[in-house]
């Protein structure tokens, strides 16, 4: 081996070792920084999750409160209008029965009139005239 090749190989080795050392130190520094970033990311993520859960819980509470108040109002209206509703229902039944009775009477009158007209229009069977 010549001395010239030895120096070239040694210089290449030193450069490769320096590059590897630089890369390893950079990776170690980035890893430490990554852990800090990871910790910060986890904290932000947990805070966002907690805030989201708080908002959801608050919305659910408000929704239940609104539903309860709405239910109470609906029951109050139903109780206040019960007598009016019953009166309207009873009156409607009476009117319906009166209309049905009137229609039945008209139907019977038309039927009877039709029978009378039919009887008047139809010829009665003629009897053969007696022979004299």
Instruction: State the pLDDT at residue 32.
Output: 54
pLDDT reported for residue 8? 56
**Greatest extent of the chain over all pairs of C-alpha atoms, in Å:** 174
Q: pLDDT tens digits for 41-99?
A: 888 888 888 888 888 888 899 999 999 999 999 999 999 999 999 999 999 999 999 99
Task: State the pTM of this model.
Answer: 0.39
Compare 26 and 67 and report the one with higher pLDDT. 67
Average pLDDT, the chain: 81
- Distance, in Å, from the CA atom of 62 to the CA atom of 56, rounded to the nearest integer, reads 10
Half-sphere exposure of 65 (CA within 13 A, CB side): 6
User: 102-132 burial, b if ≥16 CB within 10 A, otherwise e?
Assistant: eeeeeeeeeeeeeeeeeeeeeeeeeeeeeee
- The domains of the chain are located at 1-66, 81-117
- For tokens 């805070």, the residue is 47
pLDDT tier at 35 (50, 70, 90 boundaries)? low
């Amino acid at each position: 081996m010549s001395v010239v090749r030895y120096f070239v190989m040694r210089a290449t080795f030193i450069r490769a070792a320096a590059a590897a050392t630089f890369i390893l130190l950079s990776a170690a520094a980035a890893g430490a920084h990554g852990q800090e970033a990871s910790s910060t990311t986890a904290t932000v993520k947990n805070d966002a999750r907690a805030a989201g859960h708080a908002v959801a819980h608050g919305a659910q509470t408000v929704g239940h409160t609104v539903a309860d108040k709405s239910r109470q109002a609906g029951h109050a209206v139903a109780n206040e209008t019960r007598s009016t509703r019953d009166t309207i229902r009873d009156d409607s039944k009476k009117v319906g029965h009166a209309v049905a009775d009137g229609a039945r009477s008209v139907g019977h009158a038309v039927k009877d009139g039709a029978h009378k007209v039919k009887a008047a229009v139809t010829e009665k069977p003629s009897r053969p005239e007696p022979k004299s």
